[in-house]
Chains A and B, each alone.
Chain A
Amino acid sequence: MNSPALNDTAPLVLIVDDYQDAREMYAEYLEYSGYRVAEARNGLEAVEKAFALHPDVILMDLSLPVLDGWEATRRLKSDARTRAIPVVALTGHALDGHSREAHDAGCDAYVTKPCLPDALVREVQRVLASVAAA
C-alpha cells in the first residue's frame, strides 16, 4: 500500500489471523490509516515475527492453527524481549470464558469480531496511547 502516511517511523502492527480475507482487510485499513503492517497466519509465525520485527502492537486472533493465540500470547509475555508489546485479542467467540482466558494468557485488550476496521484502528490507537502514557 502506498498511503501518504506510511513511513518508517509509523507504528508497526502485527496482525495475526488465519482467515485471509479478514487479515488482509485489517492490514489494508491499518495501512490506509497510516500504520506499517506485518502479517502472520498462525501462532508460531506470530511468535517468530514478533521476535524478528518487534512490532509496536499485536492483533491476535485466538483460534489459530499450529499454535493458538492464547499459547502464542503466553510465550510472548514470558519472554523479556517481547513482554512489553501490547497484545489485543481478537476473536469471533463471544461465549463467556474467552475474554477471561485471553486476559489470563496476558492479553492487554480484547476485541470481539465482527469488528469494523475503523473500530479496530481506534482500539490500536487507544492501546498505543496507553503504552505511550505509561
Chain B
Amino acid sequence: MPSTAALPSPSVPGPEARLAFAELLLGCEDARICAEAAVAWLVHHAQVSQVLCLAPDESDSHCLVPIAWNGLPTPEGFTLALHDAKHPLVEALQWSEPRWFHPGQLPPELPLSSQGLFTLSLGRAIAGTPAPGLMLIAAPEPVLSPDAPWLVGHLGVHLTRLYKGRQLARLEEASTELAARVNAATEELATQNELLRRQAIQLEQASAAKSQFLANMSHELRTPLNAILGYTNMLLQGVNGELATPQRRSLTRIDSNGRHLLEIINEILDITRIEAGRMPLHLSEFRLPELIQEVMAELDPIIARSKLAVSAALDPNLPPVYSDRQKVKQIVVNLLSNALKFTHEGSVKVLASYEVATATLHISVEDTGIGIDPIHQEKIWEDFQQVDSSPTRAYGGTGLGLSICRRLAAMLDGRISLKSAVAQGSTFTLYLPRRTRRT
C-alpha cells in the first residue's frame, strides 16, 4: 500500500485563483463555457493533464455527453445513458467523494479507461433536474489535488443552479403555454355557449314561427272553406230553389269532402296547439255516464248506419271526475269512431270502471274489428300514421286521431293503452286519473 507521504505534494493555488474562478462562473450562463473554464483551471492549477467533463446533453436530460476536455482525442460521440443504473460511471454520479479507478478497471470503451482515473460527481440528480455531470481526471496514482474536489464542487453547484434556472424557464414557458391554452379553450367554450344560446333562441323562434304559421294557415284555409261549406249547406237546404237528384248527390259529395278537409285542418291545428303549449286545460267536475251518452248520441248516425251491436257497460259506482270534459269527450269520440270504422261485423262496447287503489278511471272501447298487428301497434300513435298509409288504403282518415288522443291523455295525466291482434278486434283503454292536476 503506497504511502501518501511518499507522493509528491501538489502545489496549492492561491486564494486569488479560486476567487477568479468563482467570479468567472458567476457571470457565465453557458454550461459548456463553465466546464471548459473548469477544465482549464484544473490543468493550470491542479497538475492534471487529461480531463473530461460529462454533462447533460442540451437536447436530452437522460444522458451525459462530453462538454469539455483536455489532453484527449475528441471524445465526441460518447454518451452516458443515465437509465443504465449499473454502469460504473452512473454509479459514480452518486458518490460525493472522488473515487479512483485502477487502469483497466473500467470498460475499455470508456474515455480514459486505459489509465487510472478519478471520478468526481458534479452533484446528485434530484427529482425534476438531471445530475449536473461528472468530471473524469486521469491519474496514474490515486493522488488528487484537494483543489480538484473544491473546483468540481463549485462547478457542480453552479451547473445545478443553471439547470434549475433552465428548468424553471421551461416550466414558466410551459405554464404560460398552458395558461394560453386554457384561455383559448375558455374562449372557445364561451363562443360555443353563445352559439348554442343563439341556436336555442333561433330554435325557439323557429318553433314559435311554425306554430304561428300553422295557426295562420289554418285560419287562411278555414276562411274559404267556411264559404264553400256555407254555400253548399245553403244550396242543399234549397235556399236557391229545389235541386235535382244528381245535383243534390254532387253537392252532398262536395259537402262531405269539405267537412273532411275541415276535420284535417282542425286536427293539424289541435296538434299545433298542443305542441306550442297553447292548448288550455278547462278543468271541471263531471260525470262519465252523461259524457259517454253524449258521445253515443253524437255518433248515432254512424252507429245507426252500421250493423253492429253497439253498447255501453258502465260501472254503477263511477265517481265524478275532475278533468277537462271536452278533451275526455274528444278522446272517447275518437276511440269510438275508430272502432266503428274498423269493425264490419260483431260488436263495439264502451266500458267504464273505477280502480280505487290508483284513483283511476278506465274507459275502454272494445271492438270485434280487423285488429292491429303487434308490429304496427307503435306506429299508429305517430302523426299521420295509419296501419296502412298507402294511397290505395282501404280506410281513409288523417292519421292524426290517435296521435292527438295520446297527447290529450298525457295532458290530463292519463294514458291510452291498446290490446289487439289481427282479426281479433282491438281494445283501446283510456286511463284517466280521477283528478287532473293543474300544471
Contact = CB atoms under 8 A, between A and B. Distances in A.
Given A92-B222, A92-B223, A95-B273, A116 B230 contact: yes
A26 B223 contact: no
B273 A113 contact: no
A117 B239 CA distance: 11
Interface in B100-156: none
A94 B233 contact: no
Given A115-B226, A116-B230, A96 B273 contact: yes
A114 B262 contact: yes
Interface of A: 19, 21-22, 25-26, 28-29, 32, 63, 92-97, 113-118
B226 A92 contact: yes
Contact of B215 (A19, A22, A95, A115): A95
A93 B278 CA distance: 13
Interface string B266-283: 100100010000111000
16 contacts: A21-B224, A22-B223, A22-B230, A25-B227, A25-B231, A26-B230, A29-B230, A29-B239, A32-B234, A92-B223, A95-B215, A96-B278, A96-B280, A114-B225, A116-B229, A116-B233
Given A29-B239, A92-B222, A93-B215, A117 B280 contact: no
Contacts, number: 58
Contact of B239 (A19, A32, A63, A116): A32
B197 interface: no
Given A92-B219, A93-B219, A96-B278, A21 B237 contact: no
Contacts of A25: 227, 230-231, 234
Contacts of A26: 230
B269 to A, nearest CB: 6
A22 B224 CA distance: 8
Nearest to B212: A95
A118 B233 CA distance: 8
Chain B interface size range = 20 to 34
B358 to A, nearest CB: 31
Contacts of A114: 222, 225-226, 229-230, 262
B330 interface: no
Nearest to B279: A96
A71 to B, nearest CB: 19
Contact of B226 (A22, A29, A94): A22
Nearest to B258: A114
B233 A113 contact: no
A22 B219 CA distance: 14
Nearest to A119: B233
A119 to B, nearest CB: 9
Nearest to B273: A95
B47 interface: no
A29 B233 CA distance: 10
Nearest to B225: A114
A114 B218 CA distance: 11
A21 B224 CA distance: 8
Given A21-B224, A21-B227, A95-B215, 20 more contacts: A19-B223, A19-B227, A22-B226, A22-B227, A22-B230, A25-B231, A25-B234, A28-B234, A29-B230, A29-B234, A29-B239, A32-B239, A92-B219, A92-B226, A94-B218, A94-B266, A95-B273, A113-B222, A113-B223, A113-B226
